[in-house]
Amino acid sequence: MLAAVTVVVRAVQLLCAVLVLGLVFSWGPMSLWTSYLSYSLFVGVFSVLVGILGAVAICATFISPRFTMAGDALAAVLSLAGGIVWTVRTVSAGVCSSWSGPNVYVVAFCRRIHATQASMFSTFVMSSVLVWLGYQTLSKRKQASSV
C-alpha cells in the first residue's frame, strides 16, 4: 500500500517539476526576471533529477531510501524558496494587484506568474509528502528487522 502511494506521489512530483520547467521556458528572455527564471530552471531540473532517482529507487534496492529522502528534502526546500521568491517579487512589483482591465498582456503575464508560483509550491508539497513517505518506509523496515 505504501509503495503504491509512493509511486503516485512520485509521478505527481515529476509532473509538477516538468510543469515548472515548461513555465520557465515559456517566459522567453526577460531582462527584469532573469535571476528568478534561472533559479526556477535550476529548481525544475533538480526536482526532475530527484524524481527520476526516486522512481529508479522504487525498483532498485541498491539505492538507499535515506538518499532519496535527502534529495526530496532538498528539492522541497528549494521549491519552497522559489515559490516564496516569486510571491515576494510579484507583491513588491505590484504588477498583479488587479486582474481586471483592458490590457490582455498584463492579465496573461499575471496568470503566468501565478502558475509558476503554484507549480513551485506544488513541487514543495509533493516533495514534502515523499520525505514523510520515506520516513514511514524506513520506520517499517526498522520494525521488521527488529522482530
Q: What is the structure's pLDDT at 100?
A: 60
Q: What is the structure's pLDDT at 139?
A: 86
Q: What is the structure's pLDDT at 55?
A: 92
The helix/strand/coil state of 147 is coil
Q: What is the structure's pLDDT at 98?
A: 60
Nearest to residue 44, comparing CAs of 85, 12, 78? 78
Residues 6+ apart with CB under 8 A from 142: none
Tens digit of pLDDT at every position of the chain (147 positions) = 788 899 999 999 999 999 999 988 887 766 567 788 889 999 999 999 999 999 999 888 888 888 999 999 999 999 999 999 888 887 776 667 665 666 777 777 788 888 889 999 999 999 999 999 999 988 887 777 766
Q: Which three cell numbers stand for residue 141?
A: 523496515
Q: What is the structure's pLDDT at 60?
A: 86
Q: What is the structure's pLDDT at 147?
A: 61
Work out the angle at residue 64's Cα, subtended by the Cα atoms of residues 63 and 66, and round it to the nearest 5 degrees: 140
Q: Exposure of 26 by Cβ count < 10 A (0-12 exposed, 13-18 middle, 19+ buried)?
A: exposed
* AA identity, residue 127: S
Q: Give the Cα separation of 30 and 34 in Å (integer).
A: 6
Q: What is the structure's pLDDT at 128?
A: 96
Give the ranges where 1-147 is alpha helix by DSSP (H): 2-27, 34-59, 65-93, 104-146
Q: Which three cell numbers stand for residue 64?
A: 538507499
Contact 50, 72 (CB under 8 A): yes
Q: What is the structure's pLDDT at 30?
A: 65
Q: Give the Cα separation of 11 and 123 in Å (integer).
A: 11
Contact 45, 21 (CB under 8 A): yes
Q: What is the structure's pLDDT at 45?
A: 95
